[in-house]
Amino acid sequence: MSIPQFLDQAPQGPNLTDYDRLHVKTYARLLDAVADNADWQEVVAILFSVNADAEPDRAKLMYDTHLTRAKWMTETGFRFLASTGISNIG
């Protein structure tokens, strides 16, 4: 099984992207971590394999933008998934 590659900055546009489809499960795991009050640095290490001590700016950017996109998915993006089918998500 290959490890999914992550962008440093998640998509920001108003449309569902292939990247979003590939990372729906990651977005869900990120939202679960936030709900559990997990430390953001630990979340970045586990989900994105990035060491926040070694790359603090990159780690924070990844965390913030992917969390924003995860929240967008719960508010708007899910509509795109529902209308196009969810069988081809990552």
- Averaged confidence pLDDT in the chain: 87
Query: What is the full DSSP assignment across 45-76?
Result: HHHH---TTTSHHHHHHHHHHHHHHHHHIIII
Q: How confident is the model at residue 8 (pLDDT cuts 50, 70, 90)?
A: very high
Task: Report the distance separating Cα 70 and Cα 64, nearest Å.
Answer: 10
Kindly report the pTM of this predicted structure. 0.83
Rounded mean pLDDT of 34-56? 97
Burial 11-22 (b: 16+ CB within 10 A, else e): beeeebeeebbe
pLDDT at 89 exceeding the cut of 70: no
Rounded mean pLDDT of 1-19? 83
